[in-house]
Amino acid sequence: MKKLSQTHLKISPMGLGCMGMSEFYGQTNDQNSLQILEQAFHAGINFFDTADTYGHGHNEQLLGQFIAHYRTEREAMVIATKFGIVRAENHYKRRIDNTPDYIRSACEASLKRLGIEQIDLYYCHRRQPEIPIEDVTATLADLVQEGKIKSFGFSEISAQSLEKACAIAPVTAVQSEYSLWSREPEQSLLNTCQQLNVEFVAYSPLGRAFLTADLNPETMPENDFRKNLPRLQGEAFQSNQLLLKKFSDLCQSWQHSNAQIALAWLLRKHAHVTPIFGTRHSKYLQDNLTANQINLTTEQILQLDQLFAPDQIQGERYPDAGWTGIETA
Ligand SMILES: NC(=O)c1ccc[n+]([C@@H]2O[C@H](COP(=O)([O-])OP(=O)(O)OC[C@H]3O[C@@H](n4cnc5c(N)ncnc54)[C@H](OP(=O)(O)O)[C@@H]3O)[C@@H](O)[C@H]2O)c1
């Protein structure tokens, strides 16, 4: 277990992301999702990630059902949720709200849906540039003082903004996309997190399934958001597939699945990185859990670094509407 700085919270080496259990990745089934949550918890995962926007509250309610079932073990769980993305139901387009009144009302609504008295880790999901980061941090620090949240963090924030936030109050975690094929945090954010003792939570560590080689855009249902990812379109997809083939061959020669190697790369590269993978399948959960036992050598890590050098990846990681509120600097 890993202790989160500024708190008494201890998290498992990897967390479970719940987003796909409500939205974005096609068909969902609540009964099945509850079983996966249970299996993950019994297997030692205690760090669960959700957001108010996933399924417009459905994801928090689902997690709330799970928490209610394990009420006596609530203290052993670390529940992370997020605020700030405002969307019309069934629409991807969003606006961002970081105003104090909005943060307070979103926090109350999340507490209610999750059925808990305190959120363990509360992230600002996206930044509204007109609201200074110092003001958002001050509002979150007030919520800690009031006992509504135990700790807070920021998602997709820049290194510069993180420094400003840390000057106001202790920040516990940063959550951004980070995987073999999304390496932006290596430019400065990872170092800044390390220097400021902030945990880095890596979302979409399996490249939303692309890295597992099990993703086929042609057979995805219409409601699968990944259909719109620039990296999975036309020539970009063809080019990225060639890279994926090389990766799959390498993983096979090392006698591990693609998912195991993608996760082991994150776990071995930086001590302050916690990957949160998503799954709705028991067999994938078991596969992913063993990643923490794989000791990649320095040479293997370097080989993977080079194979997925950022200039080898074709296409952006988000469609246009998805960049709203993401700080890239
Ligand atoms: N802060 C943010 O802006 C942000 C953005 C995106 C996500 N997130 C968080 O990060 C979490 C993880 O992101 P993600 O769901 O995109 O992560 P991911 O782990 O990169 O991708 C999940 C996909 O990979 C598949 N998969 C998982 N393990 C597999 C395996 N061993 N073999 C083959 N396929 C496998 C899953 O399939 P099945 O589901 O079919 O099992 C699912 O389609 C989310 O749930 C959410 O909590 C945060």
| pLDDT tens digit sequence for 266-305 | 999 999 999 999 999 999 999 999 999 999 999 999 999 9
pLDDT (mean) for 149-160: 98
Determine the residue of 199, 201, 284, 328 to mutate for testing ligand 1's pocket, defined as the one with the most ligand atoms within 8 A of the Cβ atom. Answer: 284
Residue 123 and residue 50 in contact, taking contact as beta carbons nearer than 8 Å: no
Q: Residue 86: which of 66, 69, 63, 109 has the closest Cα?
A: 109
Kindly state if the Cβ of 111 falls inside 6 Å of ligand 1. no
Tell me the best of 156, 204, 215, 327 to mutate to test the pocket of ligand 1, counting ligand atoms within 8 Å of each CB and taking the most: 204
pTM (two decimals): 0.97
- The pLDDT of residue 226 is 94
What does the pLDDT read at residue 70? Answer: 96
Q: pLDDT tens, 109-150?
A: 999 999 999 999 999 999 999 999 999 999 999 999 999 999
Residue 307 pLDDT more than 80?
yes
Q: How confident is the model at residue 50 (pLDDT cuts 50, 70, 90)?
A: very high
11 DSSP β-pair partners? 2
- Cα–Cα nearest to 45, from 243, 285, 298: 285
d(CA 226, CA 206): 13
Atom of ligand 1 nearest to the CA of 280: 41
Number of helices followed by number of strands (H, E) in the chain: 10, 12
Ligand 1 geometric centre to CA of 207 (Å): 7
Give residue 138 CA to ligand 1 midpoint distance, Å: 31
For position 124, what pLDDT does the model report? 98
Q: Where are the alpha helices (DSSP H) in 115-196?
A: 133-145, 159-166, 189-195
Please tell me if the CB atom of residue 322 comes closer than 6 angstroms to any atom of ligand 1: no
Cβ(155)–Cβ(124) under 8 Å? yes
Helix or strand holding residue 57 (H, E): none
Mean pLDDT over the full length of the chain: 96
Q: Which residue's C-alpha comes closest to atom 8 of ligand 1?
A: 203
149-155 and 119-124 strand pairing: parallel
Question: What is the position in ligand 1's atom list of the atom closest to the CA of 203?
Answer: 10
Q: Is the CB of 279 under 6 A from ligand 1?
A: yes
Residues annotated as part of the active site:
54
Task: Tell how strand 10-11 and strand 2-3 pair up.
Answer: antiparallel
Vertex 291, ends 9 and 121: CA angle to 5°? 20
Q: Is 131 in the pocket of ligand 1 (CB under 6 A)?
A: no
d(CA 97, CA 134): 15
Cα gap 58→46, rounded to integer Å: 20
For residue 204, the CA-to-ligand 1 centroid distance in Å is: 5
Ligand 1 atom with the smallest distance to the CA of 19 is: 45
- The predicted pLDDT at position 329 comes to 62
Q: In this structure, which residue's CA is closest to atom 1 in ligand 1?
A: 155
Mean pLDDT of 24-48: 97
pLDDT at 328 over 80: no
- Assess whether pLDDT exceeds 70 at residue 264: yes
Closest CA to 270 of 173, 157, 191: 191
* Ligand 1 pocket residue status of 23, Cβ below 6 Å: no
The residues, any chain, with a CB within 8 Å of residue 75's CB and separated by 6 or more, are none
